Amino acid sequence: MIQSPGNLLEIRDLKKTFSIATGLFSRTLTLTALDDINFTVRQGETLGIVGESGCGKSTLGRCILQLISPDQGQVLWLGQDLTRLSGEDMRRRRADLQIIFQDPLASLNPRMTVGEIIEDPLRELRPELNRTERRARVVRIMEAVGLLPEMINRYPHEFSGGQAQRIGIARALVTEPKLIVCDEPVSALDVSIQAQILNLLSELKDEFGLTLIFISHNLSVVRHVSDRILVLYLGRIVELASGDEIYGDPKHPYTQALLTAVPIPDPRLARQRNIDALKGEIPSPINPPSGCPFRTRCRHARPRCAEIRPPLEQLENGRLVACIRWREIEAERALEAAPGG
């Protein structure tokens, strides 16, 4: 399998649907959670994944880790397609790919001590380690995430949300993974604690040489941690670019609209942000719009946007955008921004 050097992960033509049973005549409907997903994750980067609730962020994270199976497409890990591995081979791989969940307390077994929770993945994924080695590693990881080793025999309910998330991070780290999918890791935490956990993740990334996929609906959070950002809308990639490009020069009207929710202190941009602000409801993924999925909420949409499924176009510097009108929109916005525009 050919894979570009420097890429840890390559997602090709990924699609995931869910069957939804309706009460009505026991009909089954198909919900397309992800479609036509293509992107790469580079060794050592943090890739942010953003979009509104229901756009497919968690489903994408879970498909990458093979916690759920995609309908089609490839998940190439260092060139090896994870979707084709047997259950046993994937179990062995799992030490390399870990996940941190949104709700730390709900994701920890209340009947296990902190030490047992962190040690648990080692029993299955690092069978070569004996009990003493496992315990030594648990203590080392607890210290790395800022938990005192004397907390090892305590139970999850004795911890605050922020401390519980440190336990979740320790559990993910203990197998020495190469990639961690962080699925809304700070959304359930007090704002005052969020920065501590984000700082911890970025320190751990450097210390352990990790690659991170950072899922969040909050663009302000993603901005702080991400090298590149992938924007999802209704199960499709609409834009992928560096953090500076996404925040400073968004090309897709959906990205422009999402950014209006991010507080910025520049009053000169306020007018443009009012114009761009996101309006209307997200269409149902059971019956998505024809052509461009965003066209029903896009202030720049034209009749042809209903006819053409916009391809993910690669621009010169490697950034990706899926909008057939992005060049025209750039010109229109420049006129709007001009004095008297």
* Binding of ligand ATP by 66 (CB under 6 A): no
Single-letter amino acid, residue 253: P
Take residue 38 and report the two structure tokens written for it. Answer: 């293509």
Binding of residue 258 to ligand ATP (CB under 6 A) = no
What are the C-alpha distances in Å from 252 to residues 53, 258, 321, 333? Answer: 18, 10, 6, 12
Give the burial class of 96: count Cβ atoms within 10 A of its Cβ; 0-12 exposed, 13-18 middle, 19 or more buried: middle
Q: Specify the length of the chain in residues.
A: 341
Place of tokens 């409907």: 29
Stretch that binds ligand ATP, among 53-61, 111-119, 270-278, 302-310 (CB under 6 A): 53-61
Tokens of 184: 């809304």
Gap between the Cα atoms of 237 and 240, Å rounded: 7
Q: Give the phi and the psi of residue 197 in degrees, each rounded to 5.
A: -70, -40
Closer residue to ligand ATP (CB): 104 or 285: 285
Nearest distance in Å: CB 156, ligand ATP: 22
> Stretches 51-59, 146-154, 206-214, 264-272: which one binds ligand ATP (CB under 6 A)?
51-59
Residue 230 within binding range of ligand ATP, rule CB under 6 A:
no
**Closest listed residue to residue 227, CA positions, set 154, 319, 309:** 319
Stretch that binds ligand ATP, among 57-65, 107-115, 188-196, 297-305 (CB under 6 A): 57-65
Q: Is 53 in the site for ligand ATP (CB under 6 A)?
A: yes
Q: How far apart are CA 275 and CA 278, in angstroms?
A: 9
Least gap, CB of 24 to ligand ATP (angstroms):
17
How far apart (Å, rounded) are the C-alpha atoms in residues 114 and 142? 9
Cα separation, 308 vs 305, in Å, equals: 6
Q: Name the minimum Å distance from CB 216 to ligand ATP.
A: 8
> Does residue number 289 form part of the binding site for ligand ATP (CB under 6 A)?
no
The pair of three-digit structure tokens given for residue 219, joined into one six-digit string: 């663009």
Instruction: Please report, as residue ranges, which positions from 92 to 111 form the binding site for ligand ATP (by CB under 6 A).
Output: none
CB of 59 vs ligand ATP, minimal distance in Å: 3
Print the binding letters for residues 17-36 with ligand ATP: x by CB under 6 A, - otherwise.
Answer: -x-x----------x-x---
Question: Among 48-56, 250-258, 263-271, 317-325, which window interacts with ligand ATP (CB under 6 A)?
Answer: 48-56
Helix axes 191-208, 161-173, angle to 10 degrees: 20
Chosen residue from 46, 59, 107, 165 binding ligand ATP by CB under 6 A: 59
- Number of residues in contact with ligand ATP under rule CB under 6 A: 14
CB 142 within 8 A of CB 170: yes
Under rule CB under 6 A, residue 288 binds ligand ATP: no
How near is the Cβ of 217 to ligand ATP at its closest, in Å? 5
Token reading at 322? 């899926």
Question: Quick check: 57 binds ligand ATP (CB under 6 A)?
Answer: yes
User: How many Å apart are CA 101 and CA 70, to the nearest integer?
Assistant: 20
Nearer to ligand ATP, 58 or 163 (CB): 58
Query: Of the two residues 217 and 325, which places its CB atom closer to ligand ATP in the complex?
Result: 217
CB of 123 to ligand ATP, least distance (A): 28
Nearest distance in Å: CB 51, ligand ATP: 6
Q: Specify whether the CB–CB gap between 226 and 243 falls below 8 A.
A: yes
Q: Which of 162, 285, 288, 293 binds ligand ATP (CB under 6 A)?
A: 285
**Six-digit token pair at 214?**
């950072």
Least separation in angstroms between residue 52's CB and ligand ATP is 7
Residues in contact with ligand ATP by the rule CB under 6 A: 18, 20, 31, 33, 51, 53-59, 217, 285
